[in-house]
């Protein structure tokens, strides 16, 4: 079971480390433009702003970071809508969130056993959370979209958790720091693929996806979104499930 994937996704290296940064900056810029009344934005204007904002010297350096064209980058994003306007320009807008009554809760599981699995790109919606059941570890939903390879999702979790402990060391007991250290070690072993493990994504909205859905097991969850989920505020960071 899977979802249709836009062929444009395969023209851009979605696992590139710059992708998440570019996407975040693009969404912030679009939000500012939308506040001024804009709905459709030209790809050329967005590319020019991103190049200047992120410090790329020219088009070649910018497209090298994307490992493809900016047009393909926009077309690859599942939450962006693109079209050619009446002046023959590529324009885009951010799709509005689905109304809650149209949500279709899903559980998506991928057994990570090869390097190819680690580099499969996971489009994690702002409503989704991820569990690694083998170590009772969770990446919580934080109200933001995250599009990156599974490898980079985990590497980011390692960095964030380590930084959190370093910046607030006084908040943790010696026992807690030891457990967090063990967790970080185990996450690194998962990146080394010492043994297969499972990436399980829960999304009440059903809008998350993977670039390669071939080995992803998709299960429909409850048809109705529980009130507790609807009322739950975004939660930042990573959790070790008790």
Interval 67-112: pLDDT, tens: 788 998 898 887 889 999 999 999 999 988 889 999 999 999 999 9
pLDDT-based confidence at 3, cuts 50/70/90?
very low
Contact criterion met (CB below 8 Å) for 210 and 4: no
- In angstroms, the CA 146 to CA 79 distance is 11
Q: Of all helices (H) and strands (E), which one includes residue 16? A: none
Q: With CA atoms as reference, report the closest residue to 103 among 130, 78, 75, 128.
A: 128
User: What is the CATH class of 100-240?
Assistant: mainly beta
Largest pairwise CA distance in the chain: 64
Which residue intervals of the chain are DSSP H helices? 18-35, 43-54, 59-66, 70-76, 115-118, 150-167, 174-191, 227-231
Question: pLDDT value at position 78?
Answer: 78
Whole-angstrom distance, CA of residue 222 vs CA of residue 40: 35
End-to-end CA distance of the chain: 32
* 181-237 pLDDT tens trace: 999 999 999 999 999 999 999 999 999 999 899 999 999 987 434 444 444 444 445
Boundaries of every domain in the chain: 7-94, 100-240
């Amino acid at each position: 079971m899977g979802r249709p994937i836009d062929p444009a996704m395969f023209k851009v290296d979605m696992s590139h480390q710059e992708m998440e940064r570019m996407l975040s900056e693009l969404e912030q810029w679009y939000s500012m433009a939308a506040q001024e009344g804009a709905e459709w934005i030209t790809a050329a204007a967005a590319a020019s702003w991103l190049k200047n904002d992120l410090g790329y010297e020219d088009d070649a350096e910018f497209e090298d970071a994307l490992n493809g064209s900016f047009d393909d980058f926009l077309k690859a994003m599942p939450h962006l809508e693109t079209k050619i306007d009446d002046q023959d320009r590529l324009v885009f807008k951010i799709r509005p969130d689905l109304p809650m009554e149209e949500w279709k809760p899903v559980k998506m599981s991928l057994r990570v056993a090869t390097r190819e699995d680690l580099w499969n790109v996971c489009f994690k919606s702002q409503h989704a959370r991820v569990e690694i059941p083998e170590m009772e570890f969770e990446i919580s939903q934080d109200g933001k979209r995250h599009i990156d390879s599974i490898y980079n999702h985990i590497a980011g979790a390692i960095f964030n958790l380590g930084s959190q402990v370093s910046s607030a060391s006084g908040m943790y007991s010696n026992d807690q720091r030891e457990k967090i250290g063990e967790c970080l070690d185990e996450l690194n072993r998962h990146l080394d693929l010492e043994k297969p493990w499972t990436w399980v994504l829960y999304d009440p909205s059903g809008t998350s996806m993977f670039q390669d859905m071939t080995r992803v097991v998709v299960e429909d969850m409850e048809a109705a979104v529980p009130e507790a989920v609807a009322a739950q505020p975004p939660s930042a960071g990573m959790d070790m499930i008790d």
